[in-house]
Amino acid sequence: MLKCKDVSQRASEYLDGADRPLKWQMRLHLAMCSNCRRFVRHLALTRDLASKVGDVESCSQSQSRKIVQKLRNKS
Amino acid sequence: MLYYALNAFASPGLATVSGWAATKKGFNLSASTLLNADEHALLDAAIAGSDEAYTIMVERYHSLMVAVAAAIVGPSLAEDVAQDAWFSAHRALTKFERRASLKTWLLRIVSNEAITRAKRESRHIALDCSPSDSSYLDDERFSGNGHWARKPSQWHLDTPDALMEEVDLHRCINKTLLLLPPQQRAAFRLRDIEQATFEDISQWLGVSAANARVLVHRARLTLLDVIDHYQETGQC
């Protein structure tokens, strides 16, 4: 039987598609524990929000041109 | 038509030339045409010597390659390693069989470059699975029997739509992403933004799939902590 601490540590594994035994253990625990349900829901919201608004640094066109120029000079 | 024109320039005889000059003659496609071209057309144009095609490829993938390099060799050498990887990719472009996507191929190249550089420089970046500055699951969260001692707080913004409207929160998230340890940052980006599999992430970062999962989880916990704090205070 998983404890809340175990659920908190394996919640991402569950969200990302865990193997069947873990999935059922998690489901059983979540059916009984509202705190863990809230935690897993918050973690899923976090993942979904960050994946949408995460403004990953991109390489600007001028930077890209410089790199291509270096490549050209080197080859 | 465009595709055949590109293929004509990518014929084996020309394609084996590694430099630009021999293949560039007569080749002139606009940036806008290439921007909308599919990956194969972009690759064909790059092989045929189009600077624009290379620029578009660098714009698309360079920062991701730097992130992967930083996770393996550290941030100070990452840019250098990524540029070396472009050079290797350029030399091998005609041999790329296109069974994998261009992104997958480039990430494999930069990963190999970074691992080689790490060995050469005797740099070993220890796997950082620590929660870093995340305090969400600190020791006081749980009691001795493994139950919540400090329960997860209720969020007043608890739907995707409500969270999407909080521009200040988005700034907090982006600021936090920049502060994550390089391995967690790369793992998070590859998994949650690029939607890569853990198998691929583990290969690119040179860690086990289990450790790749831990890195992603740690990154998410740090971000969760930021959102939790924002819900309470309205600040980062």
Give residue B133's pLDDT.
47
Q: Test B228 with A42 for CB contact under 8 angstroms.
A: yes
pLDDT in tens, A53-64: 887 777 888 889
What is the pLDDT averaged over residues B42-52? Answer: 89
Q: Above 60 in pLDDT, residue B11?
A: no
Third-level CATH fold of B139-233: Arc Repressor Mutant, subunit A (1.10.10)
> Which of B20 and B11 is assigned the larger pLDDT?
B20
Domain ranges of chain B: 2-120, 139-233
A36: chain B residues, CB-CB within 8 Å: 148
Q: Are B189 and B67 in contact (CB under 8 A)?
A: yes
Which residue has 């059983």 as its token pair?
A28
Q: Test A71 with B170 for CB contact under 8 angstroms.
A: no
Q: Which of A13, A39, A46 has the CB atom closest to B227's CB atom?
A: A46
Per the structure block, which two tokens stand in for B88? Answer: 């290797």
What is d(CA B137, CA A8) in angstroms, rounded to the nearest whole number? 8
Mutate to test the interface with A, among B165, B194, B227 (most CBs of A within 10 A): B227
pLDDT in tens, A23-56: 999 999 999 999 999 999 999 999 999 999 887 7
Share of chain B above pLDDT 90, in %: 66
Third-level CATH fold of B2-120: Rna Polymerase Sigma Factor; Chain: A (1.10.1740)
* Phi, psi of B48, deg, nearest 5: -75, -5
A17: chain B residues, CB-CB within 8 Å: none
CA angle B102, A54, B189 (to 5 degrees): 45
Give residue B126's pLDDT.
66
B193: chain A residues, CB-CB within 8 Å: 51, 54, 56
What are the C-alpha distances in Å from B221 to residues A57, B20, B122, B176?
21, 47, 31, 11
What is d(CA B195, CA B41) in angstroms, rounded to the nearest whole number? 24
Q: Above 70 in pLDDT, residue B132?
A: no
Distance (Å) from the C-alpha of residue B153 to the closest C-alpha of chain A?
Answer: 8
Q: Test A67 with B62 for CB contact under 8 angstroms.
A: yes
> Which of B6 and B186 is assigned the larger pLDDT?
B186
Give residue B206's pLDDT.
94
What is the pLDDT averaged over residues B75-104? Answer: 93
Q: What's this model's pTM, rounded to 2 decimal places?
A: 0.84
| B212 in contact with A, Cβ within 8 Å | no
Q: Are B203 and B108 in contact (CB under 8 A)?
A: yes
Give residue B6's pLDDT.
39
Q: Above 70 in pLDDT, residue B24?
A: no
Range with lowest mean pLDDT among A62-71, B80-89, B131-140, B225-234 = B131-140
What is the pLDDT averaged over residues A7-21? Answer: 93
What is d(CA B135, CA A70) in angstroms, rounded to the nearest whole number? 44
What are the C-alpha distances in Å from B211 to residues A25, A55, B65, B187, B205?
21, 25, 20, 10, 10
What is the pLDDT averaged over residues B11-27? Answer: 41
Give residue B5's pLDDT.
39
| B227 in contact with A, Cβ within 8 Å | yes
pLDDT in tens, B133-187: 457 888 789 999 999 999 999 999 999 999 999 999 999 999 999 999 999 999 9
B158: chain A residues, CB-CB within 8 Å: 41-42, 45
User: What does the DSSP 8-state code read for residue A12?
Assistant: H
Provide the pLDDT confidence category of residue B10 given band limits of 50, 70 and 90. Answer: very low
CB atoms within 10 A of CB B52: 21
Q: What is the DSSP string of A15-69?
A: HTT--HHHHHHHHHHHHH-HHHHHHHHHHHHHHHHHHHH-------HHHHHHHHH
A57: chain B residues, CB-CB within 8 Å: 63, 178
Collect all residues from A whose CB is shorter than 8 A from any CB in B.
3-6, 8-9, 11-13, 16, 35-36, 38-39, 41-43, 45-61, 63-65, 67-68, 70-72, 74-75
Q: What is the ipTM of this complex?
A: 0.91
Mutate to test the interface with A, among B57, B151, B159 (most CBs of A within 10 A): B151
> Which of B178 and B4 is assigned the larger pLDDT?
B178
The 3-state secondary structure of B82-138, one letter per residue: HHHHHHHHHHHHHHCCCCCCHHHHHHHHHHHHHHHHHHHCCCCCCCCCCCCCCCCCC
Residues 133 through 162 of chain B touching chain A, CB cutoff 8 Å:
137, 141-142, 145-148, 151-152, 154-155, 158-160
